[in-house]
Structure 1
């Protein structure tokens, strides 16, 4: 059996959505599901030498165990055959999930939170976990089309190769088609988009650039198509601004897969702007996959 799928819960509706998605992922993988609730004061509010939590704090532990019981019940409704473990963990949610990810095949969180995971996308928890977690992260958001494709954002980066493999594996598990989208413009070789208009700028050798981008897309998926011959693949080359084009592609998808850093990423930046934009604005769940350090 593969490493478990872990899911962070807090009793919110978004957390329950994450539990359902995580249960389905565990079932597809033939893996166990580990439901985790972290509680404790945020590290920035601790006095020197203070413990991160106190077991008598307003009955938090009993409340957390109730949330876990409800989450386990929902997970069994989605996937009755999976093995489930659950734990209440003392500590700050971000740190707890990062540690839990070291022994997981996938981490799943919701797009909003109430307690330990409060302000998930409005704060830094999801971004931090996507950048520093030891396994792929799935953020459950939007209204996915269960009959839609898995959409892969192709950037051609060495770090992005892990995202390509993950996307093919997900499409195979879900028995879904894969749409590999590569967005390019006249700033494709730059570290950022702008200034100027990358869509209308006149570029010497634009035809050659178009051919190079098509070749990048073709070569990215070629070897993986051999490994996953059962996956129907559509290659989609789009000349546009990158973030809006990928958000648009997410509208009829059941899952969007993106690498943590792209080809134009700044040195030392562990999570690129495209990944962050999708975490905030995609219309379906987003899986962020990190490459090798």
Structure 2
């Protein structure tokens, strides 16, 4: 066994869906699975044990242990061969899971947990962990796995290259196809060089921008297709908004992979607007990758 998949457990339906997804990921990777519950109550200086007037199995600590036990039962049902461990750690969820991500190759969380507000499409822990986690973060909703392709957003930036790495590795593990999607408009395409011939009315011939974007996608995928020759890849270059194109593609996908930031991001911004939009509006689980997949 090598590697570790970490999953956050809080007792919500979303977190139990994340446990099942994490168990599958650990099985595919031949990795261990760590079930983590962030136990904030000790910091609140409240009683953790059972009440003298209540049953001996009562109390906050026993409740947390039961949550982890139920999560372990679900994980073993999905992947009985996986080595499962439990961790009941003092602290609030983001801090605990960010620390766990330092030793993990993947952290999995539900899209919203017990602390979520009704109607909120994705919880704050999922968004913040996607921005601050030290490894790829997989955000899972309650609906089951699809049999569709893995969709990866490609924009040619170094920040998004890790997403392509992750998508190809994940496709190889799952035996899935990849849809590599690149969306562009004249607003997000790099400015072409000035015309060399003053008599020429355009900086580039008509259609040159589209051809350049096709070339960008091909170059971004070339080395990955060499290292993963068994992965079937379909390329899609779309003239239009990136958010809209990825959300539409996610309708038939089993997983959507995006970089934390793309070529349109502001320096210092940990999570870009496209990746945030995917966490809120994608129709399938979303993996957010910072830098090279699996690296800090």
TM norm. shorter chain > 0.5: yes
Range that drifts further, 57-66 or 28-37: 57-66
- Hey, what's the Cα distance between the residues in 1 that align with 2:65 and 2:235? 46
Question: What is the aligned partner in structure 2 of residue 85 from structure 1?
Answer: 85
Q: Does 1:277 align with 2:268?
A: no
With over 3 angstroms needed to count, the CA separation of the structure-2 counterparts of 1:97 and 1:24, relative to structure 1, is same
Consecutive unaligned residues in structure 2, runs of 5 or more: 50-58, 191-202
Write out aligned runs for 1:242-253 (5 A).
Answer: 242-253=242-253
- CA–CA distance in 2 between the matches of 1:157 and 1:268? 15
Q: Which residue of 1 aligns with 2:47?
A: 56
Per the alignment, residue 106 of structure 1 pairs with 106
1:60 Cα offset (Å) = 1.8
Q: Distance in 2 between matches of 1:101 and 1:143?
A: 25
Q: 1:206 to 1:16 in 2, by over 3 A?
A: farther
In the TM superposition, 1:119-198 aligns within 5 A as 122-141=122-141, 143=143, 146-189=146-189
Match of 1:263 in 2: 263
Q: CA deviation at 1:204?
A: 7.2
Question: In angstroms, what is the RMSD of aligned CA positions?
Answer: 2.2
2:113 and 2:123 in contact (8 A); partners too:
no
Measure how far apart 1:265 and its partner are.
Answer: 0.3
**CA separation in 1, counterparts of 2:180 and 2:143?**
20
Partner Cα distance (1:123, 1:80) in 2: 30
Runs of at least 5 residues in structure 1 that lack an aligned partner in the other structure: 42-50, 191-202
Number of positions where the alignment pairs a residue of Structure 1 with one of Structure 2: 272
Q: CA deviation at 1:141?
A: 2.2
- Which residue in 1 is equivalent to 2:193? none
User: What residue in structure 2 maps to residue 17 of structure 1?
Assistant: 17
Asked if structure 1 preserves the Cα contact closer than 8 Å seen for 2:258 and 2:287, the reply is yes
* 1:34, distance to aligned residue in structure 2 (A): 0.1
Residue number in structure 1 paired with 2:237: 237
Distance 1:22 1:64 in 2: 19
CA distance in 1, matches of 2:253, 2:289: 17
Q: Is the 8 A contact 1:14 1:113 kept in 2?
A: yes
Q: Deviations over 1:78-108 (max 9, x none)?
A: 0000000001111011000000000001000
Q: Does 1:69 align with 2:69?
A: yes
Query: Does the 8 A contact of 2:150 with 2:167 survive in 1?
Result: yes
| CA offsets 1:254-273 (integer angstroms, 9 cap, x no match) | 00000000011011111100
Contact 2:36 2:88 (C-alpha < 8 Å) held by counterparts: yes
Q: Deviations over 1:59-93 (max 9, x none)?
A: 22111110000000000000000000001111011
TM-score by length of 2: 0.86
Distance 1:4 1:234 in 2: 30
Residue 199 of structure 2 corresponds to which residue in structure 1? none
Preserved contact between residue 151 and residue 250 of structure 2 (Cα < 8 Å)? yes
**Where does residue 32 of structure 1 map in the other structure?**
32
- Indicate if the aligned counterparts of 1:136 and 1:288 stay in contact, CA closer than 8 A: yes
1:209 to partner: Cα distance: 1.1
Deviations 1:220-268 (A, max 9, x none): 1111000000000101101111101100000000000000000110111
